[in-house]
Structure 1
Amino acid sequence: MSKQKVYWICQLFGWTLFVTVEYIAYLLDDGFDSDTFYLAITNIFLGITLTHLYRLMIRRWNWVRLPFFRLAPRVLLSVFVMAVIMTMLNLPVDRILVPEHMVDEPWLVIGYIMNFGKIMLTWVLSYTAYHYFEENRNAEIEKILLKTNIRETEAKVLRSQLNPHFVFNALNSIRALVYENPTKAQQGITQLSNLLRNSLLADRRKTVELREEIKTVEDYLALEKVRYEDRLRSHIDLDGRTLFWQVPPMMLQTLVENAIKHGVSTAVGGGFVDVRSSIVSREDGPDKLHIIIRNTGVLGDKKASGGFGLANTAQRLELLYGSEAQFHIFQEDDNRDDGPVVCAEIIIPAQSEGMFRREKVKNGEF
């Protein structure tokens, strides 16, 4: 049932009940009288009319949006005006119909106003309080929706980030291959096209399968190897159970880009980037995806170590998963033959779609 129908049912039932109680009191004292009956009917319609006009007035001027100290005087004045109007109709008629019940003193008018005022105040407070709290609730919902839209917009911006410097360097590398190795140049153009396409599509999807994200990483690494040649070594090792797990798009590409820009490129002899995935089994909850990205480098100040890429990853995981996801980056022990190593760890909870696809992998359906 709509709110409009509920409102009119409450109006008709409430005023009929009130006037009926008053009319029964007259019947017990004086018996049935047609004039008194017509007055009772008139009071029902007058009460409905006055309170409905009040409803239209507060909706027209949005009283429920006013602070309490400004709303209260308006409500009390409205109650007084409606009570006076009801008194102006009933008091003269009652003097004619039941003069024996009338006492000729000034307090009689105040008594009528107080009587009708109590009824009007009950109605007005009920109606105004209901809409006042409903308006506040709607305002809170609007704030939540606004925050959600802002967070979604932020997430879209973060998902679609592709470093323009990388695009510029990739184009230069491909241009150098056009005459030396046309086949490799064509392959590079295809890889760059795939990257740009994925970057454009990233703002339309909250998550993608890990295998799709890894293809983006592989295209990125292939283009960077054209530039760095033997100075860049890479290795990707994925657990087959993780291939269909849902991950934020372009997230791993951002971290790998960060690893090359602030790690491999600064090392004298170049370096490596290693990407691995596995499933973390938990006794106290569902399994989670564990991704490790290791690279040659020294973890220093965040601004000097790819602050944007790290902040990008942390913020996107927070927007998507809240406290369920984890992101850590740390310096591994320096006692290694291949130099210092930086390690980034990502832990992502399961998505329903990812869980469904992983079950199919286990069952041999993929």
Structure 2
Amino acid sequence: MSTSKQKIYWFCQFFGWSLLILVEYVAYVLELGFDPDALYLAIANIFLGITLTHLYRLMIRRWNWVRLPFFRLAPRVLFSVLVMASIMTMLNLPIDRIIVPQRMVEEPWLLIGYIISWGKTMLAWVLSYTAYHYVEENRNAEIERILLKTSIRETEAKVLRSQLNPHFVFNALNSIRALVYENPAKAQQGITQLSNLLRNSLLADRRKTVELREEIKTVEDYLDLEKVRYEDRLRSNINLDGRTLFWQVPPMMLQTLVENAIKHGVSKAVGGGFVEVQSAVVADKLHITIRNTGVLGDKEASGGFGLANTAQRLELLYGPEASFHIFQEEDGAFGESVVCAEITIPTQSEGIFRRREEAIK
């Protein structure tokens, strides 16, 4: 229990028992006058009540009664109330016989009356504390479930963060190897770009999101390396809205989609094709569109793990407001088949626009 809760608990103990006993004592004084013995008994009752209920608290916490089902908890609570009421009766009844003997004559069921009277008081305390502790235990259990669920979602998100396709790395190395003698400067540039891609891939599991401008640099490095392989068969165009550059997106997500567009679209087209990336802010949401030459066909066959990965990562990071759709566009002006992938990401914070303004300055 935290220090603040302990202070509140002891304050309630002393204040509650003092108020209860002193009210009865004041009523006694108004009716029969001041009696020091009655005052001592009242003080003794305060400390005895605090002691008994505190022992009950220690017992219920040690044996975790609040985690028991109701049919097992109820008998324990009632028995505890009976024991505490009996102890209070054992203290008060003999002393009351001395202080107010005239009242003892008028009560036919004296012992039972005392136990019932103190039992009501103890039951009120026990029910209040048990109910509070029961609610707190359920709240803590719910918090633990939420934390566990969050931890699982975070683990899933780390697993789902994309890594570079090993086939791409192999092809890129072969392309760079071919350039070593033909164009050393371009080969050196290709090695730098591949190094950047590998570094970003390794860092992907350490960061939940990156700025769109950083992710686009990864996409540009990837496209440049693929152009070494496909040459004029691969055309690319990146058109970004300036307001979106500092928007947070999942790392390596766009690279995965662009890789998917080339692998299942451009590479299969006889005359090659194009990949186009656009971004815009619509209704306070980031919209990213990736268009490429190709035929969608079966999503599982044409997208594999990448498409399912993208949708699941967006769901884990942003919830239901984020979305991912991929569809076949109508044939263009030259009869070219085009596949379009659309990503929608909700606003995370106003900080993205503030960082953009600071960067511009």
Do the structures match in fold with TM over 0.5?
yes
Q: Alpha-carbon deviation of 1:350?
A: 3.3
Paired AA for residue 355 in structure 1: F
In 1, the alpha carbon distance for the partners of 2:328 and 2:221 equals 27
1:294 aligns with 2:291: yes
The CA distance in 2 between the partners of 1:237 and 1:297, in whole Å, is 20
Residue-by-residue CA offset, 1:299-358 (whole Å, 9 max, x unaligned) = 122210113211222222222332333322110113653631101112333342222244
Matches within 5 A, 1:1-366: 2-103=4-105, 107-280=109-282, 282=283, 286=284, 288-334=285-331, 336-337=333-334, 339-351=336-348, 352-359=350-357, 365-366=360-361
User: Taking structure 1 as reference, are residues 73 and 165 closer, same or farther at Cα in structure 2, changes over 3 Å only?
Assistant: farther
- The structural deviation recorded for 1:112 is 0.8
Residue identity matched to 1:322: G
- Distance in 2, matches of 1:321 and 1:179, equals 48
CA 1:90–1:199: 2 relative to 1, 3 Å: same
Secondary structure of the corresponding residue to residue 289 of structure 2: strand
**1:105 to partner: Cα distance:** 7.4
Q: CA deviation at 1:130?
A: 0.9
Instruction: Assess, with a 3 A threshold, how the Cα gap between structure 1 residues 182 and 67 changes in structure 2: closer, same or farther.
Output: farther
Rounded to whole Å, the distance in 1 between the matches of 2:339 and 2:162 is 25
Deviations along 1:8-42, one digit per CA (max 9) or x if unpaired, are 11111111122122223433443322222211111
TM-score, structure 1 length as denominator? Answer: 0.90
Give, as a single letter, the amino acid of the residue that structure 2 aligns with 1:30: L
Unaligned runs of 5+ in 1: none
Contact 2:162 2:256 in 1 (8 A): no
Whole-angstrom distance in 2 between the partners of 1:14 and 1:240: 64
Q: Judge conservation of contact 2:321–2:346 (CA < 8 Å) in 1.
A: yes
Would you say the 8 A contact 2:163–2:201 is kept in 1? yes
Q: Output the TM-score relative to the length of structure 2.
A: 0.91
Deviation of residue 180 (structure 1)?
A: 4.2
Unaligned segments of structure 2, at least 5 residues? none
SS of the residue aligned with 1:2? helix
Shift of residue 294, structure 1, vs aligned partner? 0.9
What SS is found at the alignment partner of 1:289? strand
Q: Structure 2 vs 1, CA of residues 68 and 180 (structure 1 numbering), >3 Å: closer, same or farther?
A: farther
Letter of the structure 2 residue corresponding to residue 141 of structure 1 = I
Amino acid at match of 1:75: V
Does the CA contact (< 8 Å) of 1:262 and 1:304 recur in 2?
no
Q: 1 CA distance for matches of 2:271 and 2:108?
A: 105
* Greater Cα offset, 229-238 or 122-131: 229-238
- Identity fraction in percent: 82
Contact 1:210 1:242 in 2 (8 A): yes
Q: Which stretch has the larger CA shift, 261-270 or 130-139?
A: 261-270
The one-letter amino acid paired with 2:266 is V
Measure the CA separation in 1 of the matches of 2:241 and 2:16.
69
Q: CA deviation at 1:223?
A: 1.8
Partner SS for 1:304:
helix
**Offset of 1:85 from its aligned partner?**
1.0
Check the 8 A contact 1:293/1:344 in 2, yes or no. yes
Q: Give 2:135's aligned amino acid.
A: F
CA shift in 2, pair 1:208/1:320, >3 Å: same
Q: Deviations over 1:111-169 (max 9, x none)?
A: 11110000001011111111111111121122122222222222233234332332233
Mean CA deviation greater in 301-310 or 237-246 = 237-246
2:291–2:339: 8 Å Cα contact kept in structure 1? Answer: yes
For 1:303, what is the secondary structure of its paired residue?
Answer: helix
Number of residue pairs the alignment of both structures matches: 358
Query: 2:30, 2:247 → 1: CA distance?
Result: 79
1:226-285 Cα shifts (integer Å, max 9, x gaps): 3333332222222333323332221110110111121122223332211122333x4xxx
**Alignment-mate amino acid for residue 53 of structure 1:** L
| Counterpart code for 1:221 | L
* Mapped contact 1:87–1:116 kept (Cα < 8 A): yes
| Distance in 2 between residues matched to 1:189 and 1:70, nearest whole Å | 70
Q: Tell me whether 160-169 or 31-40 shows the greater mean CA deviation.
A: 160-169
